[in-house]
Amino acid sequence: MLGTRDVVATIAVRDLAAARRWYEGKLGLAPVSTEGDEAVTYRAGDSKLLVYRSQFAGTNKATAATWTIDGDLDAEVRALKAKGITFEHYNFPDVRHEGDVHVIGDMRAAWLADPDGNILALVSARTSDVRS
């Protein structure tokens, strides 16, 4: 069944050219395939991210894709901010903010939105990354 198959995160955008500039220029993703003006697939670690053109872009109000950060989440956030990324701030119960990073127990996370409002997350759950 599907438990042994790979899965691809899929994100709808209105303007594929603008999305490519953002995903490639801001996030540093490199395309591995394109389908004309309709879609582009990126490799992200051992995973893939499909970005495609749709009239329903930006209608998902939940997290669309999550990157697991193995290492210094704060450094990743700083590097993305240096490229002009703005991070989202949420007031979840029992959350502590350290700048743009949300600390929830042992989990550290940061959320950002692409130009269409698709919500993306960076998460590090390693307890060694948690600050007192």
pTM for this predicted structure: 0.88
Would you state the pLDDT for residue 131? 43
Q: What is the residue range of 29's domain?
A: 2-129
Give the CB-side neighbour count of residue 110, counting CA atoms within 13 A: 20
Note whether 39 and 53 are within 8 A (CB).
Answer: yes
Tokens standing for residue 24: 């490639």
CATH code, domain with 50: 3.10.180.10
CB atoms near residue 10 (< 10 Å): 15
Would you state the pLDDT for residue 73? 96
Count of domains for the chain: 1
Would you state the pLDDT for residue 57? 95
Show the beta-strand stretches assigned E in the chain.
Answer: 9-13, 30-35, 39-44, 47-53, 63-68, 87-88, 96-98, 101-104, 107-113, 119-124
CB atoms near residue 131 (< 10 Å): 9
Would you state the pLDDT for residue 125? 62
Short-list 5, 124, 112, CA closest to 64: 112
Return averaged pLDDT per consecutive 10 residues of the chain, 132 residues in all.
86 97 97 96 95 95 94 95 97 94 94 96 68 40
Would you state the pLDDT for residue 4? 83
